[in-house]
């Protein structure tokens, strides 16, 4: 039901129309992942079988490929995926895949896309095979963990979570997967390097919803709250590895400068310093906002709508009350960048050990399994 000029809460669930079309034999393309789904499609064994940069696969083969999936980790940069995948593999004792899993696909470069066919069937990701076309999103599976880049900002994140949700539903694993966004943000009343775990995301109007226009004067409201169970588990994992951790609301907006009340952009800011500090104090003291970033609102809201449990683990790379500029030294930023990955790795490793999927190994302060 639609209320013209008003709003309504969106129903939960996957796009059943698409699933029905696939079941009826129609091709469906997850275009930005470079994967096509069609009943009866052959298993792809060679890059020469590629159809216009899209790899076609039968839904049953996709279920075989992803049937053991327990976690999806989304992060902005493709390089984070390539760095995190071998670390995760070492932590859980996973081995490079064999058999019919997707082969070399395409290797993304600074100059576009170039074929990277190697005799051993692996690309330069520590031996882990990418899934789909790496030109837009880089996605690698390590045992029961899928690690994927979602780009920066609402637009890229919305494409990623919509196609990821459909992929998980087609594979039949949406109700067994936990999805976690890994990233960085501007801390409010947080020191640089401290960890933030989200309870919910709020929009530019400081409401816990992502708005989508109905086209008739109203808005759809997507609830952007995180999974309490995953959030609690991530907080415990952060404490186990010895990090200072904060939890609360994240202000998630579609922009880096003005929407985050910054004054260091290229165009003149309407805010004077006193106004900026007053806004930050209100966010902190009245609304419990501890971080600002640009993807959580879309990812958490769409995951919840699709019935996928999700949360967020970020690290503060700037303390907003002390300034807008990211002024840490390169080695400091490199260290900060590893911290949410360490927390998420510890959380996933603990969950898999609880389920008997891997042996329990005591964690040491460096973030590696001991």
Give the whole-angstrom CA distance, residue 251 versus residue 187: 10
pTM for the full predicted model: 0.84
Domain ranges of the chain: 7-11+69-354
For the packed helices 228-240 and 330-354, what is the interaxial angle rounded to 10 degrees? 120
Query: Which strands make up the sheet holding 209-213, listed edge to edge?
Result: 7-9, 219-223, 209-213
State the pairing for strand pair 289-293/178-187: antiparallel
* Number of H-type helices and E-type strands within the chain: 8, 16
Residue in 214, 222, 217, 219 with CA at minimum distance from that of residue 154: 222
pLDDT for 227-273, tens place per residue? 999 999 999 999 999 999 999 999 999 988 888 888 888 888 898 98
The residues, ordered by sequence, that sit 6+ positions from 24 with a Cβ below 8 Å of its Cβ are none
Q: How confident is the model at residue 133, as a pLDDT? A: 54
The residues, ordered by sequence, that sit 6+ positions from 30 with a Cβ below 8 Å of its Cβ are 36, 37, 132, 163, 166, 167
pLDDT for 90-125, tens place per residue? 888 776 553 223 333 333 322 222 233 333 333 344
Q: Enumerate the H helices of 15-126 as residue ranges.
A: 16-23, 59-66, 78-92
Q: How confident is the model at residue 213, as a pLDDT? A: 80
Is 35 within 8 Å of 132 (Cβ atoms)? yes
Give the whole-angstrom CA distance, residue 279 versus residue 186: 14
CB atoms within 10 A of CB 265: 13
3-state secondary structure of 70: coil
pLDDT for 279-288, tens place per residue? 999 999 998 9
pLDDT for 7-34, tens place per residue? 566 656 778 898 999 899 988 888 787 7
Residue 49 pLDDT > 90: no
Give the whole-angstrom CA distance, residue 80 versus residue 339: 12
Residue 364 pLDDT > 50: no
Residue in 69, 59, 63 with CA at minimum distance from that of residue 94: 69
For the packed helices 59-66 and 153-171, what is the interaxial angle rounded to 10 degrees? 100
Give the whole-angstrom CA distance, residue 325 versus residue 319: 9
Residue 79 pLDDT > 70: yes
**Maximum Cα–Cα distance for the chain, whole Å?**
64
Ramachandran assignment for 189, one of left (phi > 0), alpha (psi -120 to 50 degrees), beta (any other): left
Which superfamily is assigned to 7-11+69-354 in CATH? Nucleoside phosphorylase domain (3.40.50.1580)
Query: What is the helix, strand, coil percentage profile of the chain, to 5?
Result: 35, 25, 40
pLDDT for 147-191, tens place per residue? 889 999 999 999 999 999 999 999 999 999 999 999 999 999 999
Give the whole-angstrom CA distance, residue 312 versus residue 293: 11
Q: What radius of gyration do the chain's Cα atoms show?
A: 21
């Amino acid at each position: 039901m639609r209320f013209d000029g008003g709003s309504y809460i969106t129903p939960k669930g996957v796009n059943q129309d698409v699933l029905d079309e696939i079941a009826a034999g129609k091709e469906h393309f997850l275009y930005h992942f470079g994967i096509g789904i069609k009943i009866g499609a052959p298993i792809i064994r060679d890059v020469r079988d590629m159809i216009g940069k899209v790899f076609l696969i039968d839904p049953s083969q996709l279920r075989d490929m992803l049937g053991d999936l327990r976690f999806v980790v989304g992060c902005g940069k493709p390089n984070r995926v390539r760095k995190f995948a071998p670390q995760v593999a070492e932590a859980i004792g996973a081995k490079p895949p064999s058999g019919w899993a997707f082969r070399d696909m395409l290797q993304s470069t600074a100059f576009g896309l170039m074929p990277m066919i190697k005799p051993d069937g692996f690309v330069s990701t520590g031996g882990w095979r990418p899934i789909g076309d790496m030109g837009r999103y880089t996605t690698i599976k390590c045992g029961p963990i899928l690690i994927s880049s979602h780009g920066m900002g609402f637009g890229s994140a919305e494409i990623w979570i919509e196609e990821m949700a459909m992929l998980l539903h087609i594979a039949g694993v949406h109700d067994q997967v936990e999805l976690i966004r890994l990233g960085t943000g501007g801390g409010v009343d947080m020191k640089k390097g401290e960890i933030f775990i989200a309870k919910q995301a709020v929009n530019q109007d400081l409401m816990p919803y992502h708005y989508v226009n109905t086209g008739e004067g109203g808005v759809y409201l997507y609830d952007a709250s995180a999974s309490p169970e995953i959030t609690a588990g991530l907080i415990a994992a952060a404490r186990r590895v010895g990090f200072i951790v904060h939890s609360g609301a994240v202000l998630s907006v579609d922009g880096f400068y003005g929407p985050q009340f910054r004054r260091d952009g290229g165009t003149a800011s309407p805010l004077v310093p006193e106004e900026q500090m007053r806004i930050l104090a209100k966010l902190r003291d009245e609304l419990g906002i501890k971080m600002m970033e640009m993807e959580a609102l879309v990812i958490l809201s769409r995951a919840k709508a699709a019935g996928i449990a999700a949360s967020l683990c970020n690290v503060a790379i700037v303390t907003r009350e002390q300034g807008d500029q990211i002024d840490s030294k390169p080695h400091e930023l490199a260290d900060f960048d590893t911290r949410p990955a360490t927390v998420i790795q510890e959380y996933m490793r603990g969950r898999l050990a609880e389920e008997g999927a891997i042996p329990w190994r005591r964690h040491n302060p460096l973030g590696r399994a001991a």
